[in-house]
Chain A
Amino acid sequence: MKAFTILLRRELGLAWGKGGGPLLALAFYACVVTLLPLASGRAPERLAVLAPGIAWLALALAALLSLERLFERDYEDGALDLLALGPASLEAVAFAKCLAHWLAAGAPLALAAPVAAVALGASPIIIPLLFLCALAGGLAFSFLGGLGASLALGSKRGGLLVAVIVLPLYAPPVIFGAGALDALAGGLPWLTGLVLLLAYSVATVALCPLAMAAACRNALD
Chain B
Amino acid sequence: MLRVVRIKDLALVRGERRLFSGLTLDLNAGEAVALIGRNGAGKTSLLRAVAGLLRPAEGAIGFEGEQGALEAEAARADHLHMVGHLDGLKAARTAWEELVFQTLWTGGTEAGARAAVARLDLTRLLDLEVRRLSAGQRRRLALARLLASPRALWLLDEPMAPLDAAHREIFGAVMAEHVAGGGMILAAVHDPLPIAARTVEISR
Contacts and interface: CB of A to CB of B under 8 A. Distances in A.
Interface in A158-215: none
Nearest to B55: A221
A13 B48 CA distance: 29
A81 B51 CA distance: 9
A7 B104 CA distance: 9
B73 to A, nearest CB: 9
Interface in A67-83: 74, 76-83
Contacts of A6: 101, 104-105
A77 B80 contact: no
A220 B86 CA distance: 13
B181 to A, nearest CB: 21
B97 interface: yes
A154 interface: no
Given A85-B77, A85-B80, A87-B77, A78 B53 contact: no
10 contacts: A3-B105, A6-B101, A79-B88, A82-B106, A84-B52, A85-B52, A85-B76, A85-B106, A87-B77, A220-B48
B22 to A, nearest CB: 21
Interface string B92-135: 11000100011011110000000000000000000000000000
A77 B97 contact: no
A85 B88 contact: no
Given A77-B89, A87-B105, 4 more contacts: A6-B105, A14-B93, A78-B87, A85-B82
A19 interface: yes
B84 interface: yes
A17 interface: yes
B61 to A, nearest CB: 14
Given A13-B97, A74-B88, A77-B88, A82 B53 contact: no
A71 B45 CA distance: 22
A86 B108 CA distance: 11
Given A10-B101, A13-B97, A79 B90 contact: yes
Contacts of B64: none
A7 B52 CA distance: 21
Interface in A34-91: 74, 76-87
